[in-house]
Amino acid sequence: MPRYSPLASRLSAPSAPSGRRPRVAFVTSHPIQYQVPVFRELAKRADLDFVVLFAMIPDAAAQGSGFGVAFEWDIPLLSGFQYRVLENVAQQPGVSHFLGCDTPSIRTVLAEEMIDVVVVNGWVVKTCLQTLWACKRLGIPCIVRGEANNLRHRPWWKRFLQRQLVSRFDAFLPIGTANRQFYRSHGISDDRMFDAPYCVENERFARAALEAEPRRSELRAKWNISENAVCFLYCGKFENKKHPLELVEAFLLAQQAVHPFATADGPPIHLLMVGDGLLRHQCEKLATRHPPRAAITFTGFLNQSEIVDAYVASDVLVMPSDAGETWGLVVNEAMACGLPAIVSDQVGCAADLIQPDVTGWVFPFGDWECLSELLINVSSKADQLPTMAVACRRLIEAYSPQTAAEGINETVNHVLVGLTR
C-alpha cells in the first residue's frame, strides 16, 4: 500500500487551510470500477491532496457476491491514486451487506492523516456511518455522494430516520435528478448541493467499441444472433430487483408477434442475456420452453474487457429493474458504446439519460405487456437506431469522471470557505 510523505513537504496553496493543499479523503467500501476513474481525476489535481480510504479489498469470492461466480475485475483498480485500507473487524467481512464493513479505527486514521475534508459513499455499509460520526467528533466537514432517491416507497419512520441522517452532512453531491429531489425532500437547499453525476469511463468504452465494431458479424454469429435481427441486451446480475425473468417473458410474448424471418413489417428480434446470478437457471428454463423460436442467448458473466463485445453485438439495452436500481450505470456504458436504452420508470437514471425516441424509451415498471409491445415497436424502427446512437454518445459526454471530479472539488472548496467564515 502506498505511504504518504510528511505534511511539511506537501505543496501549498494560499487559500488552503494551514497554508497547504487541502487533504481530502474519499471513504468507500472497496475498489469499485465506476468510482476509480473519478479518483484518478481527483488525484491529478494540483489544488488537492487526495487519498482514498477503503474498508476492505475483497477477494474473488467476496467480489462475486450476487454475480453467481467468483471473479476479480480484469482492469486495474488500485493505480493512479493514493489509498489506504482500513482495519475491517466485521465478523463476516463483505461488501454486499451493511455489517460487512466495520472499521472503528476510521477516527484515528482521519486524525493521523490530518484530513481536512471527507467525502463518503452514502450510507451503504457501517463504515460510512462510522466515518460521519468520526467527522463530527473531529470537526471535519463531511460530504456525501450516495444514490438514494424517492422512487422506492418507504414507511414514515424510515423517511424520518433518513431525514435525521441527511441533516448531519455538510454538503451533498447529487448523482442525478432523482437523487437531488431526494435531498430536497429532506430539506436540503440547492446551495448545499453540487452535481457529481454518476459516470463510467466513456472514452475507454467508446474506444473499445470502435475497435470491436469490425467484428460485429463475428460476435453475433458467436452468440447465434442472426445478422438482420434487432438484438436486445440484458446486462447485469440475475437478481430479483433487476427482473430478468419478467424480461424473458416479455420478450417471448413479443416474439410471438414477430415473424422469425425478415418481413416487410420489420426484422426478427433476439435477446442477449449477459451476466449470472441466482435467477439465471430459471431464466434459461423459461427460455427453453419455447424452442425453436426462442431466440435467446445466455453468455454468462463477462468481465470489463469482454463486456464491450456484447454492446457491439447488440442494438438496444433493456433494464426492467424496480426502484432498487438507484441509477443503472450499465446504461452509461451502453450509451458510450452507442446503444439506446429501454428502462422502467423506477430506474434512477431514467430522468437524466432517457430522452424518448432520442436516446431511448421508458415504460411503467411492472407493465410487462407494455414492455413487450415496446420491444415490438422498437424493432420496427430499426432504421432509426444509428441516429439514436449518435445522440446517446453525445448525451453521455456530460456524465464523465472529469465532470464528477470537478463537482467534488467545487464542494470541497465550498465547505472549506464555510470553515473560514
The full DSSP string for 179-241 is: HHHHHHHTT--GGGB--------HHHHHHHHHHHGGGHHHHHHHTT--TTPEEEEEES---GG
The CA distance from 50 to 187, in Å, is: 30
At 218-241, the pLDDT tens digits run 999 999 999 999 999 999 999 999
CB 251 within 8 A of CB 299: no
User: Which residues lie across from 82 on neighbouring strands?
Assistant: 51
Q: Which residue has the cell 452507442?
A: 338
The pLDDT of residue 13 is above 50: no
Q: pLDDT tens for residues 280-320? A: 999 999 998 765 556 999 999 999 889 999 999 999 999 99
Q: What is the pLDDT of residues 30-57, one digit of tens each?
A: 999 999 999 999 999 999 999 999 999 9
Q: For the chain, what percent of residues have pLDDT higher than 70?
A: 90
Residue 59's pLDDT is what? 85
pLDDT at 269 over 80: yes
Average pLDDT, the chain: 91
Secondary structure element (H or E) that encloses residue 306, with its range? helix 304-313
Instruction: Please state the rounded mean pLDDT for residues 92-100.
Output: 94
Range of lowest pLDDT (54-58, 183-187, 414-418): 414-418
Task: Please give the single-letter amino acid code of residue 102.
Answer: D
pLDDT mean over 87-93: 97
Kindly tell me if the per-residue pLDDT of 7 is higher than 90: no
Whether the CB-CB separation of 11 and 401 falls below 8 Å is answered with no
CA nearest neighbour of 145 among 199, 100, 109:
199
Express each pLDDT in 134-173 by its tens digit: 999 999 999 999 999 999 999 999 999 999 999 999 999 9
Contacts of residue 325, defined as CB under 8 A and 6 or more positions apart, other chains included, come to 241, 242, 319, 344, 346, 347, 348
Terminal Cα-to-Cα distance of the chain (whole angstroms) = 37
In this prediction the pTM is 0.91
